[in-house]
Structure 1
Amino acid sequence: MSFALNGVGLTHANGFSALREITLKAEKGELIALIGPSGAGKTSLLSVLGTALAPTAGTADILDFGQNFRSTVELAKLRARIGTVHQAPPIPGRQRVVTAVLAGKLGQWPAWKSLASLIYPLDIPGARAALERVDLADKLFARCDQLSGGQLQRVGIARVLYQQPELILADEPVSALDPTLAMATIRLLIAEAEARGATLVASLHAVDLAIGNFSRIVGVRAGLIAFDLPASEVSVPMLHELYASEGEELPVQAHEQHFQPPAAANDAATRAACC
């Protein structure tokens, strides 16, 4: 699924400007990482792409074969084809994991099937298969309030895997995971997108995960796009400038060997400075 944001701005009711003049386009199947300091506007940008928030300026077109979705019915159909992985998944604590995963297709199922599945899970094998991919098959019938934060994040990812959306939006999807599991989970999302030709846009605070795994990097700062470049063209000075408010240390999550800054992988001095 492709999309095009043209001059998008987002100002909240309290007057805070979260996004300013954002122009961003993607073709079907692109893999894009959003990076930038906390409060830069990454979550707001994903919310606009997912149609959860409407821009207050500019236009946001989520396209499919050249057709814009604008009516209420079309918008509902579009949302069923967009999967969002939240940093803190909005899953009721008393809900069973199997039900939380199957909720990924509530927008695609008819109303009777959605209601019936809330009473008795209608596709237990499908939910189990999705959970196996995130190593949580043993939690199939557990209550969500019995899970750790990292496990709950993976349930949210399993839900999107089960949904099989055409546009995957991931907002800090591995913030509660250890470095090794975070790397494996990011690669799982990428593999899923590549296998189905889906577009993936992921907000990541750890630059090593972004640059080491995504082909296109979009730097966001103060509600603006600071740069939009192939990963190979993102330099260490650019990253330091992007994260200037966070001090000299770049935010990295994995071990040093996982972070390969473009054009500096063999420069020991530069690697020492950034990691």
Structure 2
Amino acid sequence: MEGHLSVGITFDQPGVGQRLADDTVRGFDVDVAKYIAQQFKVPEKSITWKQVLLADREAAIERGEVDFVVASYSITAERQQRVAFAGPYYIAGQDLLVRQEETSISGPSDLSSKRLCSVTGTTSSERVRQQYAASVQLVEYVRFDLCVTALLNNEVDAVTTDDLILAGYSAKNPELLRLVGRKFSEERYGIGLGKNDDEGRRSINDAIEKMITSGAWKAALNRNFPDPDFEPGPPPTVGQG
């Protein structure tokens, strides 16, 4: 990581990790990565931002394409078989995004026979099918923006993933889309890095703790999610990944 960092982020999640038309990147995950880089004395101009599809995050780390991944990356036992995690740096909860006029969906149990969209490589839609609505019709795309487009075009009835991601899309389309606002899971966002990189994990944990205690963490959330109707979660306890 000496003098330069290659960081994997999403490019399609407003408020979380998004590449804009001028090729700059913005979002809470981006701000977390920048803060970590600052603690490593790596200037922003020396960060290479690489898009990682959600299904490819472990592979990108294993192939050495990135130094670490900050991409709404939930810490799970299965993923920990392949990569290490620093953090968590945020505790999210799974929710649903629906059209503004939708009245029949107030939680995951209302999704029986409905068309539910999520992204390949995530666990969100399968959780709904297994725990809440066995007859739900699952639709998967490689990116969340494709799910949101399908929702706007009445091709699916709801989109599911973590509330932080969905809040970004609802803020982008406030007259057309809304969060249901009923979280039904706990997702601990971690920063993925090489399986045996214990030193990197400790250093990143130290940086996250400093970001939280300095107030920069809360400021980054407020900056990226200004909607007063969205209430972000409290700071996590770092090191419980």
TM-score by length of 1: 0.26
User: Radius of gyration: which is bigger?
Assistant: 1
TM (norm. structure 2) is: 0.28
Structure with a larger share of its residues in strand: 2
- Write 1 or 2 for the structure with the bigger share of helix: 1
Of structures 1 and 2, the one scoring higher in RCO (CA 8 A, sep 6+) is 2
